[in-house]
Copies of this chain bind each other. A is one copy, B any other.
């Protein structure tokens, strides 16, 4: 296993921790962290239900926090780690924020906008194109979601 993959897995574990925080609130377990020069400068987890905010996805929260941490809206030199393939809104915010790289855990066949349903990030249509890697700890990231929705269905059918 090469150093880069080990490092990616290390930060994806931090994103998974964020997903678990969301889950502890009853939110869909999705988490993200943003790394610059080896340091985590921002964290985010899905907070849609509790914040009553349709835009409160893990990536958007982390991007806004990273911009605050850096004192500017350009996240140049940053890598975003997220446990699930971003939706169109989050994929769009990734392009707008100029992050260098996006590392994705599990793919989202039904709603993903980095290759599954559409691809907003890996296109020359917009004025920034981050590098993308997928499948980092995909199984762990995906199991969290599968178990969350299985539990939700179980509660609903009781």
Interface residues of A (CB under 8 A from B): 48-49, 51-56, 60, 63-64, 67-68, 71-75, 87-93, 95-98, 111, 113, 117-118, 120, 125-127
CB of B73 within 8 A of CB of A63, answer: no
CB of B64 within 8 A of CB of A55, answer: yes
In the bound complex, residues from chain B placing their C-beta under 8 Å from that of A56 are: 73
Looking at chain A's contact residues, is the secondary structure mostly helix, strand, loop, or mixed?
Answer: loop
Partner of A92, one of B51, B52, B113: B113
In the bound complex, residues from chain B placing their C-beta under 8 Å from that of A54 are: 63-64, 67, 73-75, 93, 96-98
CB of A93 within 8 A of CB of B89, answer: yes
A55 to chain B, nearest CB (A): 5
Contact A55 to B60, CB < 8 A, known contacts A89-B89, A90-B92, A117-B125: yes
CB of A73 within 8 A of CB of B91, answer: no
Closest to A125 in B: B117
Q: List 28 A-B contacts (CB under 8 A).
A: A52-B73, A53-B64, A53-B68, A53-B73, A54-B67, A54-B75, A54-B93, A54-B96, A54-B97, A55-B60, A55-B64, A55-B93, A56-B73, A88-B88, A88-B91, A88-B92, A88-B95, A88-B126, A89-B91, A89-B92, A89-B95, A89-B96, A91-B92, A92-B92, A117-B125, A117-B126, A118-B118, A118-B120
